[in-house]
Amino acid sequence: MHELFTADVTYDVTDLGGGSIEGLAALRDAALALGEANPVGHHVTNIVLTQLADDQVRARSKGIGINADGTCGSVTSEDVISRGDQGWRISHRKVLARRTPLGAE
């Protein structure tokens, strides 16, 4: 996870019922606590990058999670990616569940 996220990452899964997780160690603990409820596959697509500053970009992407029982879910991730001593890392992620198809009210 240290290759993807900054040590002080904020990982907001409030929309999924998990609250906001602060820091890489807490994120690791949260992932381990999910155990077998973690998806067996997580696929990211439709990535759009927008420059915020010299050392920051905003990324918006779609994600598909595949569970061990064959069910799946779709999310949108809103990220801030920052360049630091270790290179580019996600410093803030907000995950939003996709619950309705396009055009649905």
**Cβ atoms 1, 24 nearer than 8 A:** yes
Q: Which two tokens stand for residue 74?
A: 């779709």
- Residue 70, classed as helix, strand or coil, is coil
Which residue(s) pair with 74 in the sheet? 64
pTM beyond 0.85:
yes
CA 66, chain centre distance (Å):
15
Which of 3.40.630.10, 3.10.450.50, 3.40.50.970, 3.40.50.1000 would CATH assign to domain 5-97? Answer: 3.10.450.50
- Cα–Cα distance for residue pair 20/59, rounded to 1 Å: 19
- Percentage of residues of the chain with pLDDT beyond 70: 98
pLDDT surpassing 90 at residue 100: no
- Domains of the chain, by residue range, sit at 5-97
CA 90, chain centre distance (Å):
9
